[in-house]
Amino acid sequence: MTEKSCREIHQMLVDYADGQLSPSQSSEVAEHLAGCRRCSDALKALQRSLELVQVVWEDGWADAQAIHISKRVKTREIPRWAYATAAAVLAVAACWAFWHYLNRPAPQALTVAEIERRITDEGMAARLLATAELLAGKPYAEELVKSQYNYIVERYPSTEAAATAKTRIR
């Protein structure tokens, strides 16, 4: 069982948990899970995250902003598992990002669009970082966490989250 095939399985896990895979793909994943502790642990973690997401939705914590984010995530081709776990920590991360933004010096000569973009970037980067932190230290997620940190640094270079991610990569 190579690392590469585990990575491929990881990418299919959300669809697997959702029952979105074709029967042949689904049995392929099931077969792999039966023989791979790392991947079955990842599935368990994912299922817990999905349960949390459901609780968040049902409690009405997720608002129109969350829908907006899920669209952005799709267009940027972040793996869906990242969105699922990110959504689980959405409430905390969003509050943190907003609080952080409020406590910054008032920006000068910025357009509303620019301010909005920065809030969105900080929030998005903070969510992605929180996801990575949530999975950090779990052996089955090592590669995913590493690529998540790299993604944050590349995509949101000017954010606090990117600064933190940079220290994690080293």
Residues near Zn ion (CB under 5 A): 6, 36, 38-39
Q: Which is nearer to Zn ion, 40 or 150 (CB)?
A: 40
Q: Which is nearer to Zn ion, 42 or 89 (CB)?
A: 42
- Token pair listed for 126: 């903070």
- Token pair listed for 57: 């939705």
Could you tell me the smallest distance in angstroms from the CB atom of residue 153 to Zn ion? Answer: 27
- The CB density around residue 44, as the number of other CB atoms within 10 Å, is 12
Could you tell me the smallest distance in angstroms from the CB atom of residue 6 to Zn ion? Answer: 3
Axis-axis angle for helices 37-58, 23-35 (nearest 10): 120
Distance CA 84, CA 90 (A): 10
Could you tell me the smallest distance in angstroms from the CB atom of residue 167 to Zn ion? Answer: 29
Q: Which is nearer to Zn ion, 38 or 127 (CB)?
A: 38
